[in-house]
């Protein structure tokens, strides 16, 4: 007699949620794990068609309020590739600075308000503030610096308005950026304290064999240039992304799920992948700290992503300070271009991992097709596989414990803010059923 | 028992940017969190209490039949319901589907459109339930949000500015981009709240705070045509993040008809 059992982890933290987990067991064995990412589809790739290419950075920003810059950066680079535009070194540096702002804001939020409560046993960062006022306030200050930088350079922190195909609508004045230096000097020290703090947390012993993928560049930490490198040793040119990685549409998700084309296997993107593949490019202070904290090379424990994130915050503060100190305003802030029919693709590193865009445009500067692959859809299959690996060892535990452990694992990927808080409710069903044909 | 008002945050079709604005109020966040009882805010906390709630912030638009039912439930559970952002107040950028063929849109995005269930339209929350207060913007301004919440906590009716972005440019001392550079700018017809940032960065306003009360979009559209823009170019300017707000919708439809020579 076989027995089927279904464990549903429903996403009804809200009246209805964006994420759910379905686990099916057959004869006590794990038969299926599905991470159901449920976001009402907003159909960006369709609604971009026919829009002027200048609008693409403004529109794609609205895909995600947590990492709009990642969408804007990837979009402008892909469109510049389609138009044959080369940006100046000054614009390139300013784009790195902009990305620093987003990484600080996004990582500081995740570390202090969303992820640390998992290790310290709180419902939220806000609840944690009573017992850890110094750490939470430090996190809020760090986050604020990231936002301030985005405001000065981008016009505002959420959906910046200063990002154009070809560069920036206006290059900031030297004094505008120089005013940020004292805060960033404080922030670098604060970020080091945060990294030392999170390294003291207790991490579950969990190290699956991952294939990790990140953008790598010979002389800079992954942001918006380079080739795609995998921990299996392979290097893929950015323009070959779509040959190596494929999106599949699975019934349980409104997000398309990415796989390696060969073998349809999962892969891991994000801070841990970047540190594993580009550790040598970390800023001097971040690199010394990685060694001091004893972060393994490579580190394959997804929970330790919080350490990777904290080291990246140190890195971006140090890099941002370099750029801020050297900065001189410049012209033109935007490289001109002629419309031409063509296609271009690009990948950059969002705070939570690799992001890829491809556009084709017509001779009037209108978008013909758009393809957007966010980091979360690339990590989705990996998260499911991780849950399959972990679940057999915890299924004997009570429902709430199983749910909590699943959530913590999912959250360590920082999948997106709405999925990255405590959203799972668990139901267990034991359904005895007859074996087929009986 | 706490006597602080309970606060709940609900998400519909959106980018999360508006609710993130609350967490972006770094300096005031802990004070606000102390003055209300955060009963339901999944983005920030796993503590999720059942309703009813004193203050509900609603982000996002209605794009699925399930969400159309869910907003009714949210309304029943909420004493004061405030929509935050352009998605909730006007349908958001995803309302561009309202002019298109949603089935065809689905086909363009998904290999298996039959896996997806969605409505043909993206509509504002006020099209479904009574809304007590609207906070505009894509995204909302977190200073405005904190101010509105403080008013509510103090038992006052919140107020937000009702003038146009144009006036804020003058206050800021920004040289007019339309007059000086001939750039089409929605500042005269867009509600203030953003701080008039776009013209300060040498570009025209694209209306992300939505139409100001009693705006004259039609005369602005005509002015741009008189100064060299074609109606076809101007359609997308009115048809973006607040494109389905009635005043902007009427103007983009008028311009589209003119572009087609109707
Ligand atoms: S109004 Fe704009 S910022 Fe707010 S949720 Fe919608 S898309 Fe995001």
Domain that holds residue A294: 44-377
Classify residue A248 as exposed, middle or buried by CB count within 10 Å of its CB (0-12, 13-18, 19+). middle
* Residue A145 alpha carbon to ligand 1 centre in Å: 22
Smallest Cα–Cα separation from A60: which of A47, A71, A76? Answer: A71
Q: What is residue A3's three-state secondary structure?
A: strand
CB-CB contact of A30 with A12 (8 Å): no
- CB atoms A124 and B74 under 8 Å: no
CB-CB under 8 Å, B100 with A46: yes
**Cα B184 to Cα A245: distance, rounded to the nearest angstrom:** 41
Q: Which residue in chain A is spatially nearest to B48 when comparing CA positions?
A: A13
Name the domain count of chain A: 1
Partner-chain residue, chosen from B19, B21, B201, that has the shortest CB–CB distance to A170: B201
Residue B113 has pLDDT above 80, yes or no: no
Structure tokens at B100: 């298109």
B46:A421 CB<8 A: yes
Contact predicate B17/B141, CB 8 Å: no
- Residues A179-233: tens digit of each pLDDT: 999 999 999 999 999 999 999 999 999 999 999 999 999 989 999 999 999 999 9
Q: How far is residue B202's CA from residue B180's CA, in Å, rounded to a whole number?
A: 10
- Comparing CB atoms, the residue among A42, A62, A113 nearest residue B23 is A113
The answer, for A248 touching chain B at a CB cutoff of 8 Å, is yes
For chain A, say whether B94 makes contact (Cβ under 8 Å).
yes
Please give the model's pTM, rounded to 2 decimal places. Answer: 0.93
Question: For A15, which of B10, B198, B208 is closest by C-beta distance?
Answer: B10
Backbone CA torsion sign across A236, A242, A246, A247: positive
Helix (H, G, I), strand (E, B) or coil at A121: coil
**A226 inside domain:** yes
What's the rounded Cα separation, in Å, for the pair B22 and A150? 17
CA separation, residue B69 to residues A236, B91, B204 (Å): 47, 17, 39
Q: Least CB-CB distance to A41: which of B11, B30, B116?
A: B116
Residues 64-93 of A with CB under 8 A from B: 64-66, 68
Element (H, E) at A7: strand A3-10
Q: B210 CB under 6 A from ligand 1?
A: no
The rounded radius of gyration (Å) of the Cα atoms in chain B is 20
Q: Is the CB of B14 under 6 A from ligand 1?
A: yes
Confidence of residue A253 (pLDDT cuts 50, 70, 90): low
Say yes or no: A109 contacts chain B, CB-CB below 8 A: yes
Of all protein residues, whose CA lies closest to atom 2 belonging to ligand 1? Answer: B138
Rounded to an integer, what distance in angstroms lies between the CA atom of residue B66 and that of residue B68? 5
Task: Tell me how far the alpha carbon of residue B228 lies from the centroid of ligand 1, in angstroms.
Answer: 32
pLDDT digits (tens, 9 = 90+) for B199-248: 999 999 999 999 999 889 999 999 999 999 999 999 999 999 999 999 99
Chain B window 41-80: which residues touch A at a Cβ cutoff of 8 Å?
42-48, 60, 63-64, 66-67, 70, 73-74
User: How far is it, in rounded angstroms, from Cα B31 to Cα B237?
Assistant: 39
Closest Cβ–Cβ partner in A144, A170, A421 for B44: A421
Cα(A323)–Cα(A150) distance, integer angstroms: 14
B196 alpha-carbon distance from chain centroid: 16
In a domain, A18, yes or no: no
For every residue of chain B, which 3-state class applies, written as one string?
Answer: CCCCCEEEEEECECCCHHHHHHHCCHHHHHHHHHHCEEEECCCCECCCCCCCEEEEEEECEECCHHHHHHHHHHHHHEEEEEEECHHHHHCCHHHHHHHCCHHHHHHHHCCCHHHCCCCCCCECHHHCCCCCEEECCCCCCHHHHHHHHHHHHCCCCCCCCCCEHHHHHHHHCCCCHHHHHCCCCCHHHEECCCCCHHHHCCCCCCCCCCECCCCCHHHHHHHHHHCCCCHHHHHHHHCCCCCCCHHHHHHHHHHHHHHCCC
Question: Could you tell me if residue A370 is inside a domain?
Answer: yes
**Which pLDDT band holds residue A17 (cuts at 50, 70, 90)?**
very low
Q: Identify which of B11, B46, B26 has the alpha carbon closest to the alpha carbon of residue A109.
A: B26
**DSSP string computed for A206-226:** ----PPBEEEEBTTB-SSSSS
Contacts of A141 in chain B (CB under 8 A): 26
Query: Nearest Cα to B211, choosing from B203, B220, B201, B202?
Result: B220
Query: Across residues B157-182, what is the average pLDDT?
Result: 94
What is the residue whose two structure tokens read 């979360």? A376
> Can you read off the two tokens belonging to residue A213?
């993928």
CA distance B171 to A324: 29
pLDDT band at B112 (very low <50, low <70, confident <90, very high): confident
In a domain, A372, yes or no: yes
Mean pLDDT of B115-124: 87
B1 CB burial (10 A radius; 0-12, 13-18, 19+): exposed
A196 touches chain B (CB under 8 A): no
Is the minimum distance from the CB of B139 to ligand 1 under 6 angstroms?
yes
Go through the domains of chain B in sequence order and give each one's CATH number: 6-154 (3.40.50.700), 165-259 (no CATH)
- Take residue B195 and report the two structure tokens written for it: 């701080």
Q: Which of A18, A42, A60, A62 to mutate to test the pocket of ligand 1 (most atoms within 8 A of CB)?
A: A62
Question: Of ligand 1's atoms, which has the minimum distance to the CA of residue B137?
Answer: 1
Q: How confident is the model at residue B67 (pLDDT cuts 50, 70, 90)?
A: very high
pLDDT at B233: 93
Listed by number, the residues of chain B in 142-171 with a beta carbon closer than 8 Å to a beta carbon of chain A are: none
Flag whether A167 is in a domain.
Answer: yes
> pLDDT tens, A85-112?
999 999 999 999 999 999 999 999 999 9
Measured torsion, CA atoms of residues B80, B85, B87, B93, in degrees rounded to the nearest 10: 170
- Residue A388 domain flag: no
| pLDDT for A429 beyond 50 | no
Cβ–Cβ of A58/B206 closer than 8 Å?
yes
Mean pLDDT of chain A: 87
* A392 in a structural domain: no
Centroid of chain to Cα A192? 21
Q: Is 70 exceeded by the pLDDT of residue A5?
A: no
SS3 A433: coil
Give 3-state DSSP helix, strand, coil % of chain A, rounded to 5: 45, 20, 35
Q: What is the pLDDT of residue B187?
A: 97
CATH number at residue A143: 1.10.645.10
Structural domain contains residue A108: yes
């Amino acid at each position: 007699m076989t027995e089927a059992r279904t464990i549903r982890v429903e996403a009804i933290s809200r009246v209805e949620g964006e994420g759910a987990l379905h686990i099916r067991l057959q004869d006590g064995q794990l038969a299926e794990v599905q991470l159901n990412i449920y976001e009402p589809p907003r159909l960006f790739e369709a609604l971009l068609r026919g829009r002027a290419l200048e609008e693409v950075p403004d529109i794609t920003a609205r895909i995600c309020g947590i990492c709009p810059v990642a969408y804007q950066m990837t979009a402008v680079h892909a469109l510049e590739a389609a138009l044959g535009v080369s940006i100046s070194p000054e614009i390139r540096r300013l784009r790195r600075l902009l990305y620093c702002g987003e990484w600080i804001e996004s990582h500081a939020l995740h570390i202090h308000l969303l992820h640390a409560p998992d290790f310290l046993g709180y419902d939220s960062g806000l609840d944690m503030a009573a017992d850890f006022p110094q750490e939470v306030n430090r996190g809020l200050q760090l986050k604020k610096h990231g936002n301030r930088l985005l405001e000065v350079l981008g016009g505002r922190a959420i959906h910046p308005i200063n990002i154009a195909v070809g560069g920036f609508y206006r290059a900031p004045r030297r004094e505008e950026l120089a005013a940020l230096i004292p805060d960033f000097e404080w922030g670098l020290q604060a970020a080091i304290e945060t990294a030392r703090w999170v390294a003291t947390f207790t991490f579950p012993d969990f190290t699956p064999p991952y294939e990790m993928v990140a953008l790598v560049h010979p002389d800079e930490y992954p942001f918006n240039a380079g080739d795609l490198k995998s921990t299996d040793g392979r290097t893929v040119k950015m323009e070959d992304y779509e040959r190596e990685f494929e999106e599949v549409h699975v019934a349980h998700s409104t997000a398309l799920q990415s796989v390696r084309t060969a073998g349809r296997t999962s892969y891991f993107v994000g801070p841990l992948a970047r540190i594993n593949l580009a550790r040598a490019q970390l800023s001097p202070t971040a690199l010394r700290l990685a060694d001091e904290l004893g972060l393994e090379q490579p580190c394959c424990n997804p929970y330790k992503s919080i350490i990777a994130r904290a080291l990246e915050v140190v890195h971006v503060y140090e890099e941002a300070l370099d750029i801020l100190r050297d900065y001189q305003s410049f012209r033109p802030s935007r490289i001109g271009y002629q419309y031409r029919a063509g296609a271009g693709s690009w990948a950059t590193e969002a705070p939570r991992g690799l992001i890829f865009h491809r556009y084709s445009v017509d001779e009037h500067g209108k978008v013909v097709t758009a393809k957007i692959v966010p980091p979360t859809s690339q990590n989705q299959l990996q998260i499911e596989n991780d849950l399959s690996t972990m679940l057999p060892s915890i299924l004997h535990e009570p429902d709430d414990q199983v749910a909590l452990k699943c959530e913590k694992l999912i959250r360590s990927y920082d999948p997106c803010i709405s999925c990255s808080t405590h959203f799972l409710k668990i139901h267990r069903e034991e359904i005895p059923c007859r074996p087929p044909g009986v | 028992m706490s006597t602080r008002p309970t606060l709940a945050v609900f998400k519909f079709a959106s980018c999360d940017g508006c609710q993130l604005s609350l967490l972006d109020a770094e300096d005031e966040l802990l004070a606000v969190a102390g003055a209300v009882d955060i009963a339901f805010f999944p983005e920030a906390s796993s503590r999720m209490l059942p309703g009813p709630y004193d203050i509900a912030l609603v982000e996002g638009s209605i794009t699925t039949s399930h969400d159309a039912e869910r907003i009714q439930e949210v309304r029943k559970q909420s004493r004061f319901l405030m929509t935050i952002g352009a998605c909730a107040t006007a349908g958001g950028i995803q309302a561009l589907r309202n002019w298109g063929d949603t089935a065809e849109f689905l086909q363009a995005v998904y290999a298996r459109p039959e896996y997806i269930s969605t409505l043909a339209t993206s509509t504002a929350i006020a099209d479904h339930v009574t809304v007590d207060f609207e906070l505009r913007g894509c995204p909302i301004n977190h200073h405005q949000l904190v101010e509105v919440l403080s008013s509510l906590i103090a038992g006052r009716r919140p107020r937000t500015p009702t003038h146009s972005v144009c006036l804020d440019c003058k206050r800021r001392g920004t040289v007019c981009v339309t007059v000086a550079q001939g750039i089409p700018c929605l500042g005269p017809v867009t509600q203030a709240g953003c701080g008039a940032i776009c013209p300060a960065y040498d570009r025209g306003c694209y209306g992300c705070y939505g139409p100001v009360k009693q705006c004259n979009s039609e005369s602005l559209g005509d002015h741009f045509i008189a100064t060299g823009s074609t109606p076809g170019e101007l359609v997308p300017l009115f048809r973006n993040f607040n494109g389905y707000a009635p005043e902007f919708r009427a103007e983009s439809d008028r311009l589209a008809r003119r572009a087609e020579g109707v």
